[in-house]
Amino acid sequence: MKARYRYRCYPTPSQKLALAKLFGCVRVVWNDSLAFCISEYKGGKKKPKNGELQKQFITQAKKLEEREWLSEVSAVPLQQSLNDLEQAYKNFFDFCKGTRKGQRVKPPRFKKRKSKQSARFTKLGFSFKGEKVYLAKIGNLKVVWSRKLPSEPSSVTIIKDSADRYFLSFVVEIQPEHLPQSENSVGIDLGITTFATLSNGQKIKAPKPLKQRIQKLKKFSKKLSRKTKGSKRYGKARKRLAKLHAKISDTRNDFLHKLSTQIIRENQTIVLEDLNVSGMVKNRKLSRAISDLGWRTLRTFLEAKSEKYGRDFRVIDRWEPTSKTCSCCGFKIGKLDLSIRDWICLNCGTSHDRDVNAAINILACTEPGRSVAGGLSETLNGRGEKVRLSKESASQRSVNPPEFQQLSIFDLLK
């Protein structure tokens, strides 16, 4: 399987100037090709092939007076930029045809000068010079090797983020590492007050980096809005705000990486509830708090690390009533308000913590013959054989269990 290894690098002032030229050339080739594809589409023609775009906007464009500076940088990142454009269009067309599943894929967009910049080199454009990495027409870059590369990289991407930090991202081939088998299984219930509640009763709180720095963020944003756009003070204020955003993102990712690694190492089976995060973010009262937690990022980390370390990762349906179903007897209560954090089962009298009960039910959904909505979906007869209940008896049993039928309304109110 393929993986990315990212390292911080520190180019010299002259190398920063050369990288700025490289990023500009990559951006211009992308935007020119995208504009041409859009104009061809509006004219009723098909999208040009990748080879035609490379010939027109790289090879022939270098001969033009207004694009002759394209020859000052390596041709490898320019070609990879158009390869990325071809892949972006392919993903968009596959989604429109219905052959690509998942989230909605939008058509390619124009690249901006102030956003994150990147350029990719294949094996022809980079090499290792001792502890440094040589990029074609850039030079030897100083790299902080926080860990060793597991194999020879097939490509490297030089990245400059909005906070003016430079990174090298290597694509390498790795072998899955199977951890020792564990008898533990865990169900995870995600929340806002408590980030994650595990089925073993453990509760994990999130650092909430945005909430901790929201006042500082407002202050920097206000100062940026008062500066004249394009001035030096505007650039300093923009960089100060970008560094704060980077700090918030790094804090959140560090927490999610450590938590996901701990869960993967301690458990063989990990069960998570499928949440509609994109829909929940539309709630204007909870959008900031949900975005600050990073639920979807945790799921992505768990999926990737489960595949890498040989763990079993499962996701249950989002419509399972995990919070309002008793994990002991399977009795389902009515509507449960979010303000209610503890409740007592009317059937068996067990006291439940809302989050812990939901985590136990999430784990139980993956057990054979177990359903959250009705407890055990099958019963055993006197000889130990499985017997399926009829629709009438099953519905009556789930609504009015035998133990609950003997109680009157006055007993329930006591």
Q: Which of 273, 307, 320, 353 is catalytic?
A: 273
Query: Is 303 marked active-site?
Result: no
Tokens standing for 318? 């989002």
Residue 294 backbone phi and psi in degrees, to 5:
85, 50
- Rounded-to-5 percentages of helix, strand, coil across the chain: 45, 20, 35
Q: How far apart are CA 414 and CA 400, in angstroms?
A: 19
Q: How many CB atoms lie within 10 A of CB 108?
A: 19
β-bridge mates for residue 204, sequence order: 196
Residue type, 320: E
Question: What is residue 174's DSSP assignment?
Answer: -
Residue 344: C-alpha distances to residues 40, 197, 302, 361 (Å): 66, 19, 33, 16
Tokens standing for 216? 């500082």
Query: Is 355 marked active-site?
Result: yes
Please check whether residue 53 is in contact with residue 82, taking contact to mean a CB–CB distance below 8 angstroms: yes
Helix (H, G, I), strand (E, B) or coil at 18: helix
Pairing of strands 139-144, 2-10: antiparallel
Count of CA atoms in the C-beta half-sphere (13 A) of 364 = 26
Residue 354: C-alpha distances to residues 108, 189, 197, 358, 359 (Å): 44, 10, 10, 6, 9
Q: Which of 86, 189, 292, 320 is catalytic?
A: 189
β-bridge mates for residue 235, sequence order: none
DSSP notation for 98-165: T-S-SS--PPP----SSS-EEEEEETTTEEEETTEEEETTTEEEEEE-SS--SS--SEEEEEE-TTS-
Q: How far apart are CA 298 and CA 318, in angstroms?
A: 16
Most distant CA pair in the chain: distance in Å? 92
Query: Is 337 marked active-site?
Result: no
Q: Which of 86, 292, 320, 355 is catalytic?
A: 355
Smallest Cα–Cα separation from 158: which of 119, 114, 112?
Answer: 119
Pairing of strands 155-160, 117-122: antiparallel
> Which residues carry out catalysis?
189, 273, 355
